[in-house]
């Protein structure tokens, strides 16, 4: 029984990391709204409470996304500046969750962060994606931004 408790943290992490990878965003047709890029819109990119994550998001957007975008504080999303849902139709969100350390008998599961990524169609009120990662958020953000750009360019050509 002690062996089971000792292995539980390692098994949990293996399952979490094995179930999803950044490649799943590229292959997932529901990660990006199907109409993304068909109309000229400005992508709203929500800031998080974590400066280093915001820097990663901003540099990934600048590097891999050629459409118009604005980095926005979440408290400003409902302001009059962004009330035009035609112009600011899509919103890219990164949600960061912190999990406290857990003691399990003779072993301990370390504290961790979980990151969720999605795109919200503000006009339709729909959420797309909800990709989840633990750890290497930079790869996930870059992959998601590249996928947004692929769909935007494909739809722009139509």
pLDDT tens per residue across span 49-85: 999 999 999 999 999 999 999 999 999 999 999 999 9
pLDDT at 137 (0 to 100): 83
pLDDT at 21 (0 to 100): 52
18 lies in which domain range? 2-156
**Residue 135 to residue 121: CA distance in whole angstroms:** 27
- Token pair of 89 as six digits: 């139709």
Q: How many domains does the chain have?
A: 1
Q: Which pTM was predicted?
A: 0.77
Mean pLDDT of the chain: 82
The CA-atom distances, in angstroms, between 89 and each of 16, 41, 56, 70 are: 32, 6, 23, 12
* Span 27-33, average pLDDT: 73
How do beta strands 107-109 and 102-104 pair? antiparallel
At 124, is the pLDDT very low, low, confident or very high (cuts 50, 70, 90)? very high
**Residue 50 to residue 56: CA distance in whole angstroms:** 10
């Amino acid at each position: 029984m002690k062996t089971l408790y000792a292995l539980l943290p390692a098994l949990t992490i293996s399952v979490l990391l094995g179930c999803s990878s950044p490649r799943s965003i590229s292959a997932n047709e529901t990660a990006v709204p199907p109409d993304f890029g068909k109309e000229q819109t400005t992508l709203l990119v929500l800031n998080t409470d974590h400066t280093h994550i915001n820097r990663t998001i901003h540099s990934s957007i600048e590097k891999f996304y050629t459409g118009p975008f604005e980095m926005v504080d979440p408290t400003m999303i409902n302001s009059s500046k962004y009330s035009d849902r035609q112009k600011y139709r899509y919103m890219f969100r990164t949600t960061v969750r912190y999990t406290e350390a857990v003691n399990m008998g003779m072993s301990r599961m370390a504290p961790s962060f979980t990151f969720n990524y999605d795109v919200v169609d503000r006009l339709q009120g729909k959420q797309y994606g909800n990709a989840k990662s633990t750890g290497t958020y930079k790869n996930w953000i870059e992959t998601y931004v590249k996928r947004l750009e692929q769909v935007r360019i494909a739809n722009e050509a139509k």
